[in-house]
Structure 1
Amino acid sequence: MSMAQIPTTMQALVTQADKTAIVEDVPVPAISAHEVLVQTRAVALNPVDWSLIDFFNIPGTIVGSDFAGTVVKIGKNVTNVTVGDNVAGFVHGGIKSDQGAFAQYVKAVDELVWKIPDGSITFEEAASLGCSFWTGVQSLFHPERLGLVEPPKKVIGDHWIFINGGSSSVGLCGVNLAHLSGYKVVSVTSPKNFELVKSYGADAVFDYNDPDVIGKIKEATMNTIHNVYDAIGSESSQILSMKALAPGPGKIVVVRAPTEGAKANLPNHVQIIPTLIYTALGNDFYFLGNTFFPASPGDRAHMVQSLKKLPELVKDRLVKPNPLRVWDGGLSGIPKGLQYLKDGKTSDPPRRP
């Protein structure tokens, strides 16, 4: 698409003062020298998207985090992608009036999009490799989180990692990534999801409600767990994560802030480390309205390097997108999808409604 064909206005899902979001006509975003403009072909929905509408609403902002589409314009200093490339990425929706994924066009920093290899995966699948996948990359491989060996490299020898909540979107991405790096993965979930989690690379999966779940984890891993990725983040899951650790040093990376109860039970020599994927964007921000996070150049630099590896992993079908439920209706169908998330139905079998 040439620049002349880009309209001046577009439709986007915009937050309202009454804590709703509706489709409105807004200006197509202007881009800077290091940004690209993407015509959106698919988006993915995350729980944070409806939270930013219901609880931390900034009226007049575009909602949405995960997108995939086609580059239609590039900034003057962009060299890694060109007009016509199919790309995917992640942005901090719900805080700006000119950037959010739930729009006909989305702007993004050039080094924070990745090219979708021709003939590899669909736009829908590519859009799903956003928030959850990036969180897995940051949690497992960033040197200030678990610091594991990052694919395509593989760890030498048998090393176990515990991924708590393996059937969640975040958990499945973690299982897939840890398996690609050669780690042996033990996870917990409900019994109906055992085979799903194993299909993404888990070596052993147990029922988190089993009274002897800790004993089974320790037996299966020969009590060698020193790294945990807690993809749930509740107080009970954080405590379960601690109990699964072997004696000695340990790390637990958790997708929510450590709870007071968890910190009170933290063993000696064990670190519990929160992670938040918005830091990978490299900007100052307020999370959910009130908690300030300064810019983290290190988090951004790590994600930039990781995204450079992603196209080859996707091309070789080593990265496995999560099961999808595809909603029809374009931007107007998004509120229905967000309500589905709010109602806690994401454990239902994926299908097209």
Structure 2
Amino acid sequence: MTSAIPKTMKALITQANKTVKVEEIPVPEIDDWEVLAKVVVVAQNPTDWQYIDTVTNVGTISGCDWSGYIVKLGKKVTELNATGLKVGDHVAGFTHGGTYKDRGAYAEYVKATYDLCWKVPEGTLSHEQAATMGCAYWTAVQSLFHPTRLGLVEPPNKVEKEQFVFIYGGSSSVGMYALQLAHAAGYKVVTVASAKNHALCKSLGADYVFDYRDPDVVSKIKETTKNSLHHALDTISQESTQTLALNSYGPGPGKLITIQPLQEKAKQLRDDVEKQITLIYTSLGREVNWNGIIFKASPEDHAHMAQFLSKTPGLVASGTVKPNPIKVWEGGLNAISDGLQHMREGKHSGEKIVYRIA
């Protein structure tokens, strides 16, 4: 299969006028610790269009989430027989789209560090489903379980006594994975979502679901949690969501993880609650320039994600973690620009848009 790898490939490239265009570029070269995968399906995230619009790294490959099969292994990966990876394996992963000229998901081939792609168990997920377990799944994992984020007990282990965790936005892509993962670890899971998504949230492991529009939602959360809430993840991270989450905490110290910067009003609430943004790109182990803020390369974030990804095949095979619902958008690479515009306009909700590339 290695001999069949072409010299060039089609990829969706960021343009200077804040658009994207399919171009023919070289197939990426891999280093000794990487694998090269033939991309079959990619999944869309808000960060994709946000990078095009606000960062605009001209000439870079867009897209973060992918599923495909290995066509080439780096020298060190081949030597490490314990990795269990081989040419032909169905694998899925996440990459920092809109940042590199040789690394991005919206392409016919993608490269990844060997321990940051996970092997999809045979007979479990389709490529469409596996592609959804990138940005959102990784963010939920890092937010809930990394020792410097919420530091919760990791599945398959379970928390020993009754503890509540609050997930703002249980029907968001990150939220749907966070509900499942926190439930798998034995936590009592509380979330807010639109009324139409309450049944979905409960099916994914939420013990209690409230409507975020309910004027009494904070008092209901405090009553349900017996005023003992100390851990929360805000998967939306606007001013209103951050303040609602902070107002729901019980007395005493706590921690809130957000996926966007803390808003000024939220900064003024609950001095005893630590507030921290998490940025999933740091799990890739490289320095990140995020809107002018430099995050140094984090071997610790890389190592934590790699060890959790090694658990992921078992979580999938057992049915503990299920993929986001999908919406297949026809047209492959050439259609992604339209799909991004659809998301830009706020027309998309409750499903993960995916595209079949091969």
- What TM-score comes out, normalization by structure 1 length? 0.97
Match of 2:286 among 273, 283, 286: 283
The CA deviation at 1:159 is 1.1
Q: Return the alpha-carbon distance in structure 2 between the equivalents of residues 199 and 68 of structure 1.
A: 25
Q: Distance in 2 between matches of 1:143 and 1:269?
A: 19
Secondary structure of 2:143's aligned partner: helix
Q: What displacement does 1:340 show?
A: 1.6
Secondary structure of 1:166 counterpart: coil
**Partner in structure 2 of residue 297 of structure 1:** 299
- What do you get for the CA RMSD once the two structures are aligned? 1.4
Match of 2:250 in 1: 246
Aligned length: 350
CA deviations 1:134-185 (Å, max 9, x no partner) are 0000000001111000011111122111111111111111111101111111
Report 1 or 2 for greater relative contact order, CA contacts < 8 Å, sequence distance ≥ 6: 2
Unaligned runs of 5+ in 2: none
The one-letter code sitting in structure 2 at the alignment partner of 1:275 is T
* Cα distance in structure 2, aligned partners of 1:99 and 1:278: 13
CA separation of 1:349 and 1:229: change in aligned 2, threshold 3 A: closer
Aligned-residue offset at 1:347: 2.1
Give, in whole Å, the separation in 2 of the partners of 1:202 and 1:5. 47
AA at the equivalent of 1:29:
P
Tell me, what secondary structure is at the counterpart of 2:328? coil
* TM-fit CA distance, 1:352: 9.3
Shift in Å, 1:235: 1.1
Report the 3-state secondary structure (helix = DSSP H, G, I; strand = E; otherwise coil) of the residue aligned with 1:125: helix
Query: Residues 13-67 of structure 1, C-alpha deviation per residue, up to 9 Å, x if partnerless?
Result: 0111111111111000000000100000111101110111122111111001010
Matched residues in 1 for 2:127 and 2:69: separation?
10
**Residues 1:142 and 2:146 aligned together:** yes
Structure 1 residue aligned with 2:340: 338
Classify 1:317/1:128 alpha carbon distance in 2 versus 1 (closer, same or farther; 3 Å).
Answer: same
The separation in 1 between residues aligned to 2:271 and 2:5, in whole angstroms, is 58
Equivalent position amino acid for 1:212 in 2:
D
The DSSP-based 3-state class of the residue aligned with 1:240 is helix
**Residue deviations 1:263-310, cap 9 Å, x none?**
112x2321011100001011112114x221111111111101100000
Please name the residue that 1:26 is paired with.
25
Out of 100, 104, 108, the residue aligned to residue 100 of structure 1 is 104
Question: Are the structure 2 counterparts of residues 243 and 156 from structure 1 closer, same or farther at C-alpha, using a change threshold of 3 Å?
Answer: same
Once the two structures are superposed, the pairs formed by residues 70-81 of structure 1 within 5 Å of their partners are 70-78=69-77, 79=80, 80=83, 81=85
Cα separation, 2, equivalents of 1:346 and 1:149: 33
Gaps spanning 5+ residues in structure 1: where? Answer: none
More moved, 8-17 vs 151-160: 151-160
| Letter paired with 1:50 | W
Residues 329 and 354 in structure 2, CA contact (< 8 A), matched pair in contact too: yes
Ranges of 4+ aligned residues in structure 1 off by more than 3 Å: 348-353
Give the Cα–Cα distance (whole angstroms) in 1 for the partners of residues 348 and 285 of structure 2: 30
Output the TM-score relative to the length of structure 2.
0.95
